[in-house]
Amino acid sequence: MAVKQASLPLFAAFFAAALVGCRSTPEYDHVLTNARVAQFDGDAISFVNLHLALRDGRIAELIPASEALPLASDTTDLTGTFVYPGLVDAHAHFMALGQALETVDLVGTRSWAECVERVRQYLADHPEVAVVRGRGWDQNDWTLGEWPSSVELDALSQKAIVLSRIDGHAVVCNQIALKQSGITAATRIEGGEIITAAGKPTGVLVDNAETLLRIAEPSREEKIRYLQAAERWCIELGLTSVHDAGLPTGDIMLIDSLQRAGGLRMPLYVMVSESPEALDHWLQRGPLETDWLSVRSFKFYSDGALGSRGALLRAPYRDRHDHFGLALRDQTYLRTAAARIAKAGWQMNTHAIGDSANHLVLSIYREALGAKTAKPDLRWRVEHAQVVSPEDRKEFGGSLGIVPSVQPTHATSDMDWAPVRLGADRMPHAYAYRSLREANGGWIPLGTDFPIEHPNPMYTILAATARRALDGHPLGGFQTEEALTLDQTILGMTRDAARSSFREGQAGEIRLGNWADFTIFDTNLSEIEPMNLPKTQALQVWIHGERRK
Ligand SMILES: [Zn+2]
Using only C-alpha atoms, what is the Rg of the chain?
26
Computed over every residue of the chain, the mean pLDDT equals: 93
* pLDDT number for residue 5: 46
Contacts of 450 (CB under 8 A, 6+ apart): 89, 92, 93, 96, 97
Give distance in angstroms: CA of 544 to centre of ligand 1.
26
Output phi, psi for 420, to 5 deg: -70, -40
**Could you tell me if residue 337 is inside a domain?**
no
The whole-number average pLDDT for the span 386-404 is: 97
Give distance in angstroms: CA of 216 to centre of ligand 1.
22
Give distance in angstroms: CA of 246 to centre of ligand 1.
8
CB atoms within 5 A of ion ligand 1 belong to 245, 449
Count of domains for the chain: 1
Give distance in angstroms: CA of 91 to centre of ligand 1.
6
Give distance in angstroms: CA of 443 to centre of ligand 1.
20
Give distance in angstroms: CA of 89 to centre of ligand 1.
11
Q: What digits encode the pLDDT tens for the residues 129-139?
A: 888 999 999 99
**Could you tell me if residue 106 is inside a domain?**
yes
CATH number at residue 139: 3.10.310.70
Give distance in angstroms: CA of 301 to centre of ligand 1.
10
**Could you tell me if residue 123 is inside a domain?**
yes
Q: What digits encode the pLDDT tens for the residues 452-508?
A: 999 999 999 999 999 999 999 999 999 999 999 999 999 999 999 999 999 999 999
Give distance in angstroms: CA of 73 to centre of ligand 1.
42
Give the integer Cα–Cα distance in Å for 518 and 87: 7
**Could you tell me if residue 482 is inside a domain?**
no
Give distance in angstroms: CA of 434 to centre of ligand 1.
21
22 band by pLDDT with thresholds 50, 70 and 90: very low
**Could you tell me if residue 536 is inside a domain?**
no
Give distance in angstroms: CA of 452 to centre of ligand 1.
8
Domain assignment of residue 126, given as a range: 96-212
**Could you tell me if residue 76 is inside a domain?**
no
**Could you tell me if residue 116 is inside a domain?**
yes
**Could you tell me if residue 532 is inside a domain?**
no
Give distance in angstroms: CA of 94 to centre of ligand 1.
10
Q: Say how far residue 503 (Cα) sits from the centre of its chain.
A: 15
Q: What digits encode the pLDDT tens for the residues 223-243?
A: 999 999 999 999 999 999 999
The complex's ipTM?
Answer: 0.96
Give distance in angstroms: CA of 92 to centre of ligand 1.
6
What are the C-alpha distances in Å from 105 to residues 13, 97, 229, 370, 394? 67, 12, 16, 45, 40
Give distance in angstroms: CA of 545 to centre of ligand 1.
29
